[in-house]
Amino acid sequence: MKKDHTIQQAVLQKKMDNQEKGETSKLAWWQLSLIGIGSIIGAGFFLGTGLSIKTAGPAIILNYLIGGITAFIVFSALAEMTVADPEPGSFRTYAKNAFGNSMGFVSGWMYWLSGVFIMSSEAVALGTFTQYWFPHIPLWIFTVAYAGAAFGINLLGVKNFGKIESTFGIIKLATLVIFVFFGLLLLVHFISPQAVSLRGVSDLRHFMPTGIKGMWSALIFVFFSFGGIEIVGIASSELKNRNEVPKAGIGMLLALVSVYILSIFFVLYMVSWTDINESKSPFVTALSIFHIPYIGSIFNIIIISAAFSTMVGALFSVTNIMVSLAEDGDAPKAIAKKSKKGTAFKALFLTGFALAVSLTLSFVLPGKIYEYITTAAGVMMILNWTTILSSQIKLRKGNNQNVNHYKMFGYPFTSYAGIVLILLGVSGGLLRATQRMGVFISLGLICIIFLSYFFIVKKRRFFDK
C-alpha cells in the first residue's frame, strides 16, 4: 500500500511539473500585444508611408484613423469568436464553422498564399536595405541569409519566438515613441533648432489638397499598415489565459493607432507633404532638416529590424494556418505534427519551399509583374478581414446572441460597417494602375483557390467515403 501511495504521489508530482512547465512556456497578454506590434509594423510603414502621404496629403492622418477603427472592428469580431470558442485554426476554423468546409479552405489558403508573398517581398526589401552599406555584394545572398535567420527563430519554439518577436516589437514601438516625443518638444518650443524652417506647419492648413479621390486611393495603403492583426487570434492558443485575448488586441491596436497618427502628424509638421516622395522614408526626410549625423544609417537599421520581425511573425502565422489546414484534411495530414517545443517542422519546411519559389520569381520576373503579385498578396490579406466579420455575424446569429463572454461593441452594425470600410478601401485601389492590377490578380487567385476546393479537395473527400 505504501508503495502504491508513493507511486501515486510520483505520478501526481510529474503531472504538476508538466503543467507548470507548459504554463511557463505560454505567453502573457502583453507579450502577445508586442508580438502583434512586431508583426504588423513593417518596412511598409517606415518606408511606404511616403507614397500614402504623396497620394492623400495631410488627410492621410484621417485615413489612419479610419484604418485603426476598421482594424479594431475586425479584431473585436475575431476576439469574440476566440474567447467563445478557442480554436487553433483561428479565423479559418470560424469561417468553416459558419459557412462550411469550402470557406475554411479558401480563407486558410488565401492567408497562407498572401503570407508567403509578403515574406518574400520583405526578404527582398531586407537585402536591398542591407546593400546600402555593402553595394558590391549580390542581393540574393542577403535575401537568403535573412530568410534562413527567420526560419532559425521559428525553429526555436514558441517561447523563444515570443521573446525575440516581443523584443522587436519594443524596438519599433520605442523608435516611433522617441520620434513623437521629439516632435512634442518642437511643438511646445522646448527645443528650437536654429536656421531650421518647419515647412510643414503652413501646409497642414490645406488638409485635403488631393481631394476625396486622393484619400480614397490611399486608404488601401493604410490598411496594409494594419495587415497581420490576425496573428493575435492565431497565437492566442499560446496564451496563459485565453480570456485575455481582448486585452492583448486592444492594447496592441491602441499603441499602433496612437504612434501611427502622432508620428505622421509630426512628419507633416516638420516638412511639407510635397517634399515627401516614395523613394525615401518620410521619417528620414523629416529628420534630415536637423542635420543629424548618420540619420540614413540609423533609420536603415530600424527599417531592417521592422522588415525582419514582420517576416518572422508572418512565417509563424502561415505555418500555424498550414497545420490547421492539414488537421482538417485541406492539406497533407502528415504536415500537421508538432514537436515538443510547438514547432511544426514539416509545415515550416513546406512553407520554406514555397518561399524559395516566390523568391526565385522575384529575381526572374520583371519588377513590375512581381510588384503586382505582392500587391495582390496584401489585398488578399485585407479581403480576408471580410471573411472574419461575415463569420462573426453568422456565428452570433447561430448563438441567438446568448453570449456571456467578451462581446463585440455595436453588433451587428459595427460588423457590417467594417465590411463596407474594407470594400471601400480595396475599391480605392482601382484608382491607381499598380494597385488596380493587384486587386484583379488577387480576385483571380481567390477564384483559383475556390475552384481548387471543388475540383481537388471535395472530389478527394467523396472518394474517401
Q: What is the pLDDT of residues 27-39, one digit of tens each?
A: 677 777 777 777 7
pLDDT at residue number 41? 79
Burial class from Cβ neighbours inside 10 Å (0-12, 13-18, 19+) for residue 149 reads middle
pLDDT at residue number 201? 53
Q: Which residues contact 155 (CB under 8 A, 6 or more apart)?
A: 343, 345, 348
Residue 154 domain-assigned (yes or no): yes
Residue type at 95 in one-letter notation: A
Contact 396, 346 (CB under 8 A): no
Q: How many structural domains does the chain have?
A: 1
* Torsion sign (Cα): 171, 173, 174, 175: positive
CA distance 115 to 118: 5
Angle between helix axes 49-56 and 211-225 (nearest 10 degrees) is 160
CA distance 138 to 56: 36
The closest alpha carbon to 313, from 442, 227, 241, 422, belongs to 227
CA distance 60 to 51: 10
Residue 32 domain-assigned (yes or no): yes
Residue 321 domain-assigned (yes or no): yes
Residue 217 domain-assigned (yes or no): yes
pLDDT at residue number 7? 38
pLDDT at residue number 462? 41
Q: Which residues contact 149 (CB under 8 A, 6 or more apart)?
A: 308
The closest alpha carbon to 301, from 128, 458, 130, belongs to 130
Domain holding 333, by residue range, is: 26-464
3-state secondary structure of 208: coil
Q: Which helix (H) or strand (E) holds 45?
A: helix 43-46
The closest alpha carbon to 75, from 277, 338, 255, 252, belongs to 252
Residue 133 domain-assigned (yes or no): yes
3-state secondary structure of 199: coil
pLDDT at residue number 457? 65
Residue 323 domain-assigned (yes or no): yes
3-state secondary structure of 180: helix
pLDDT at residue number 158? 64
Q: Hunting for cell 490645406 — which residue is that?
A: 206
Low-confidence residues of the chain: pLDDT under 70: 1-27, 88-89, 157-162, 191-205, 235-239, 242-243, 340-342, 367, 398-404, 457-465
pLDDT at residue number 209? 79
Q: Return the CATH number at 167.
A: 1.20.1740.10
Residue 115 domain-assigned (yes or no): yes
Residue 1 domain-assigned (yes or no): no
pLDDT at residue number 232? 73
CA distance 233 to 229: 8
CA distance 224 to 121: 13
pLDDT at residue number 362? 82
Residues in the chain: 465
pLDDT at residue number 417? 94
3-state secondary structure of 231: helix
Exposure string of 268-301, with b = 16+ CB inside 10 Å and e = fewer, is bbbbbbebbeeeebbbbbbbbbeeeeebeeebbe
Contact 295, 120 (CB under 8 A): no
Give first-to-last CA distance, the chain, whole Å: 51
